[in-house]
Amino acid sequence: MKNQKIKFDFVFLGQSVLKYQVPLDIYDIINHIYETKYPELKPANKNNENSGNKSSVLGVAFKMSTEFVAAVAVGTIIGFIFDNWFGTKPWLILIFFFVGVVAGILNVVKSAKNMQIK
């Protein structure tokens, strides 16, 4: 079914005015619509690779910040649970908060090293 096209022949006063072919596959239809209706969205040259690189850098930065915040939040929650369990109100929250900060920093450093290797 790939590469099949629907053919339209527009006839006006007995003469063929416009012959048009539309792909039958849904992905081909979407690509065809974008190519014909929105040519400005199609990359003109390879200079647009930098914009894709910027978005991937933004994604990595978001991933690193999320890992850091998650580590701090998990450490603080564990400290809160242990404080309620053992009755040592502020101390275990503070200790596990800093453990979460250290774990978050180590995760960010590990991710940065992996990025440099690639």
The answer, as to whether pTM is greater than 0.85, is no
pLDDT surpasses 80 at 39 = no
Beta-sheet strands, E only, within the chain: 5-12, 15-23
What percent of the chain clears pLDDT 70, i.e. is strictly above it? Answer: 62
Summarised one tens digit per residue, pLDDT across range 59-117 is 888 888 999 999 999 999 999 999 999 999 899 999 999 999 999 999 999 888 887 87
110, 66 contact by CB (below 8 A): no
Domains of the chain, residue spans? 5-42, 48-117
Strand 15-23 with 5-12, pairing: antiparallel
Residue 31 amino acid letter: N
